[in-house]
Amino acid sequence: MTENQLNLTGNILRIERSSIHDGSGLRTVVFLKGCPLSCSWCSTPESRNFEFEKGFAAELCLGCGKCAAVCKNNAIYIDPDNKAAVTDRNMCSCCFNCANVCPSNAVKTYGKTMTVSEVMDEIKKDEIFFYHSGGGITLSGGEPISQSDFSAALLRESRLLGINTALESCLYGNYKNIEKLLPWLDTLYADLKHMDYGMHEKWIGEDNSLILENLAKVNQSEYSPQIVIRVPLVPGFNDSDENLLATLQFCKSLNNLKGLELLPYHRLGVDSYRYLGLDYRCGEIPPPTAEWLSSRISFLKEHNSKLVISSGSGFNAK
Ligand code: SF4
Ligand code: SF4
């Protein structure tokens, strides 16, 4: 890899170690910031914006005023009634000086710039775990194909070190950006949220035609990785018999398909909405049960006994 490629920079949300849900073995997952879609149920709203963001956990604030003292934009004041910091987000430039001085971790920082070389230094620390578990690196987000040169460089550098590579993607983007990643990719986890054009557009902001087109192109590529289809299963949105059967039908067209995973809707990201001052739009959706998930998996297996169909969530479903 050239010096130029090692110095490429990307906008990273965070790096998580020892994940068991994002590929084979233990995975080091690099979450990139920024996603072109806006799923109503998104569990990582802090990953959606391409820009850096500041979050604030009011319940942790001591009202000490250290943050206000270092803010060069005068974006923070201490509310005398609540004795807690208040930030005018319009004046905040996300320099994160306030986070550096906050003694109680009330200020959350979402986003940092890293070079390919810096990310690889983090990944290399886990090589021994990859070796013993059959794991590797997984790029996730946000949407890694939106930072395609950076993502391709990470996958390539990992492959050259013999590290297994995986990508979690919604595949909403220019195919030229997806194509760059394929020669260095072992497994693609492709989100397939709904087979109906109109429902996809209504709940996600864009229709599904580009996604299906890109998935077909990946499948036909000479560099096609093995493909796992992931359906984020949301009650009342995409769990109908009709949509599941349409998903199975589409799966038949993929000759590099390794399996189909259902990821049940959850509310683990609700705190992040509060930290960002955003409304959570799916409060009416009931949290699903393991029985509901088992019944949906059973339904799929009744209609395709050959395809490997599972819960990709750690949910205790059969
Ligand atoms: S991130 Fe920087 S600009 Fe924004 S409130 Fe904190 S200190 Fe002020
Ligand atoms: S520095 Fe932290 S604890 Fe102190 S007022 Fe600011 S946000 Fe609250």
pLDDT digits (tens, 9 = 90+) for 39-84: 888 989 999 999 999 999 999 999 999 999 999 999 999 999 989 9
pLDDT at 284 over 90: no
Contact 141, 32 (CB under 8 A): yes
Give me the amino acid identity at 34.
G
| Residue of minimum CA distance from atom 6 in ligand 2 | 67
Query: Which ligand 2 atom sits closest to the C-alpha of 104?
Result: 3
Which residue, by CA, sits nearest to atom 2 of ligand 2? 102
> What percent of the chain is predicted at pLDDT more than 70?
97
Task: Judge whether residue 317 has pLDDT over 70.
Answer: no
Nearest alpha carbon, ligand 2 atom 1: 102
The CATH class of the 53-110 domain is alpha beta
Q: Which helix (H) or strand (E) holds 123?
A: helix 116-124
Portions of the chain given CATH number 3.30.70.20: 53-110
As a whole number, mean pLDDT of residues 183-187 equals 97
- The gap between the terminal CA atoms of the chain, to the nearest Å, is 44
Question: Does 63 sit in the ligand 2 pocket, CB within 6 Å?
Answer: yes
Range scoring the smallest mean pLDDT among 21-35, 52-66, 149-163, 302-316: 302-316
* Window from 65-79, 122-136, 279-293 with minimum mean pLDDT: 279-293
pLDDT at residue 313 tops 70: no
Distance from residue 68's CA to the centre of ligand 1 (Å): 8
What's the pTM value of the predicted model, to 2 decimals? 0.93
Query: CA–CA separation, 77 vs 84, rounded Å?
Result: 8
pLDDT digits (tens, 9 = 90+) for 137-175: 999 999 999 999 999 999 999 999 999 999 999 999 999
| Amino acid letter, 304 | N
User: Is 70 exceeded by the pLDDT of residue 295?
Assistant: yes
Give the residue with greater pLDDT, 314 vs 266. Answer: 266
User: Does residue 306 have a pLDDT over 60?
Assistant: yes
Distance CA 200, CA 39 (A): 9
State residue 145's pLDDT score: 97
Ligand nearest to the CA of 56: 2
Domain with CATH 3.20.20.70 in the chain: 3-49+112-311
Binding site membership of 1 for ligand 2 (Cβ less than 6 Å): no
For 189, phi then psi, to 5°, come to: -100, 105
- Ligand whose nearest atom lies closest to the CA of 79: 2
**Closest to 124 (Cα-Cα) out of 114, 133, 136, 141:** 136
> 3-49+112-311 belongs to which homologous superfamily?
Aldolase class I (3.20.20.70)
270-279 long-range Cβ contacts below 8 angstroms, 24+ apart: 271/57, 272/44, 272/45, 272/46, 272/55, 273/45, 274/57, 275/46, 275/55, 275/56, 275/57, 275/108, 276/45, 276/46, 276/53, 276/55, 276/110, 277/56, 277/89, 278/45
* pLDDT confidence band for 129 (50 / 70 / 90): very high
Using the predicted structure, report yes or no on whether residue 314 has a pLDDT greater than 50.
no
